[in-house]
Amino acid sequence: MNIRIIRSRHLAALSLTLVAAGCGMFSESPTRATVPSESSNASVVLYHVHLGTDDDFTDHNVYLNGTRVGRLNAGEELRLQAAPGINQLNIVPEMRWLGSTRQDPLKYSIELTHGSTRYLRYRTASGEGRILPTTGTILADRELSPVTEQEYTARN
């Protein structure tokens, strides 16, 4: 078989594989998502703050109770509707071009009550952004923590 034909078939197969795998460059970039549920009576507002050098080649996929509900990259926020009770929130960073996981999922259990709204900050840090200028403390790469409504409002 001709070498050109073999190369073109391999390139075509590779292209189709990347498209079928759902690479980040072909996926949507939702900034708001909801999880439909008959008893959706609680809200979660999740926003992402990134400190340090750019993190352009990573998607931070958000899962609520095992269902992918969106992607949360630097400066973005997601507003989720969830059933009251204990819910599992997972954030999985993945390489945008290859789709492979860079780190283990960040897992967070959140207890919601009827009609409540919870605010969560997802903070990532890299390079010099991991070092606090005032104390010299080194921050973790990723952290998910609850914040008050006032802290959420004042984040800008």
Q: What is the pLDDT of residues 55-95, one digit of tens each?
A: 667 888 999 999 999 999 888 999 999 999 999 999 988 87
What are the domain boundaries of the chain? Answer: 28-153
- In this prediction the pTM is 0.67
- The residue type of 60 is H
Q: Higher-confidence residue: 133 or 143?
A: 143
- What pLDDT sits at residue 25? 42
CATH placement of domain 28-153:
2.60.40.1120
Q: What gap in Å lies between CA 16 and CA 26, rounded to an integer?
A: 12
- Greatest mean pLDDT range, 3-12, 115-124, 139-148: 115-124
Q: Are 82 and 42 in contact (CB under 8 A)?
A: yes
Residue of higher predicted confidence among 7 and 116: 116
pLDDT for the residue numbered 37? 47
**Residue 30, amino acid:** P
Where does the pLDDT of residue 41 fall: very low under 50, low under 70, confident under 90, or very high at 90 and above? confident
Between CA 88 and CA 68 the distance in angstroms is: 12
What residues contact 121, with CB distance under 8 A and at least 6 apart? Answer: 47, 48, 49, 144, 145, 146, 147, 151, 152, 155
Work out the mean pLDDT of the chain and round it to a whole number: 77
Q: What is the mean pLDDT of residues 135-139?
A: 79
CA–CA distances in Å: residue 136 to residues 52, 82, 128, 131, 133: 14, 38, 10, 6, 6
Nearest-CA neighbor of 77 among 114, 48, 38? 48
